Amino acid sequence: MVTNVGIFGGENMAVGRVITVPEVKCRNSPGFIYQKIGKSNVCFFFSRTGNNFTNAKLDCEGKGARLTVVNMQRKRQVLDRKPDTWIALEDRQTEGKYIWHDGTEQTARQRRDFSCYGQPDNWNDAEDCLHASKWCSAPRNINDGSCAESFEYLCEKVG
């Protein structure tokens, strides 16, 4: 539930602007920025350094967040500004069965609408973690890669 809180003035705020509770929570999480996406209130954290998939996931969890579940177009658009970025999708448990970190399976539509052409392909039988790729054109820029590669990553808190 979103409750409006009358917070007026203050640093980096327009005088008279009403701030929602989720936005205040983002401001209280260092490095996170608030964005309303559909009906969801999301706090994003863009890493500034690269890491392998497992360490990126652990860093997000250490911040009380998770790697971003890119299950809708508006979230995928956030990645346009952040190529070569880990997202919360992998098939390490069962090859070809892509599971988001919220426990849901990637839909055929998500794969069709967001994946690079011909991807994911599990090249060399060694690609189980997915990322936004600078080698593909948006909106179809999701690619699979080796989980050991070092990419920046995008964390999210959803409320």
pLDDT of residue 21: 59
Rounded to two decimals, what is the model's pTM?
0.81
d(CA 84, CA 86): 7
Gap between the terminal Cα atoms of the chain? 8
pLDDT of residue 18: 45
pLDDT of residue 82: 80
pLDDT of residue 11: 40
pLDDT of residue 148: 98
Q: Which domains are delineated in the chain?
A: 4-158 (3.10.100.10)
pLDDT of residue 12: 40
| pLDDT < 70 positions in the chain | 1-22, 24
d(CA 84, CA 87): 10
d(CA 68, CA 150): 17
